[in-house]
Amino acid sequence: MTGAIAGHMTFEEFERLPDSPGKLELLRGELIELPPAKLKHNEICERIYRRLIAILAEAHIRAECGALGKVHHEMGYRVGDGWLQPDVSITHSDQPADDYYLGSPALVVEVISDDKTADHVDGKIEEYRQNGALEIWVLYPVRKHVWIYRSGTAEMRSGRFPSELLAGGTIDLDEILK
């Protein structure tokens, strides 16, 4: 179950929290606690992660995706005054970093599970958009589709589709969601 602690917390306070099972995010000053991801959720994320690595490894696509950096699974980002940890992400090629990546990744992938509330996901989309994300993918495994958010637009895709951001590299949701 998703829980938010009442009141606001600074990033410095967040950074001092002890490690605990599950995932913690700081969104608009609120601490969001998520339980450890279940097997099916992690397997979907791993398939997306592997597919994105494969797409970027293709020489002709890599040359056309010069603005994109590294692919990560569960990497944390210091976004605005908070801390967000997308399920899968690709950094900008020149993503600033100190101890953490700063700002939104170029591509964000969030896989929806029972523990993510609509308000939580909508808030994350807003933060990512305001802090430099080029695309945000919100994947709904039960409904077998993904919403792709770009600057000022959103579109739903299913099945097999090419990604503009990934220079035409194809994503096959049926394969990812098997």
Q: Which domains does the chain have, with CATH numbers?
A: 38-176 (3.90.1570.10)
pLDDT for the residue numbered 145:
97
Q: What is the DSSP string of 54-96?
A: HHHHSHHHHHHTTTEEEEEES--EEETTEEE--SEEEEETT--
pLDDT < 50: residue spans in the chain: 1-2, 4, 6
Which pLDDT score, from 0 to 100, does residue 21 have? Answer: 80
Tell me what pLDDT residue 6 has. Answer: 43
Beta-strand pair 88-92/68-73: antiparallel
Please tell me the predicted confidence (pLDDT) of residue 7. Answer: 57
Residue 64: predicted pLDDT: 83
Q: What is the pLDDT of residue 115?
A: 67
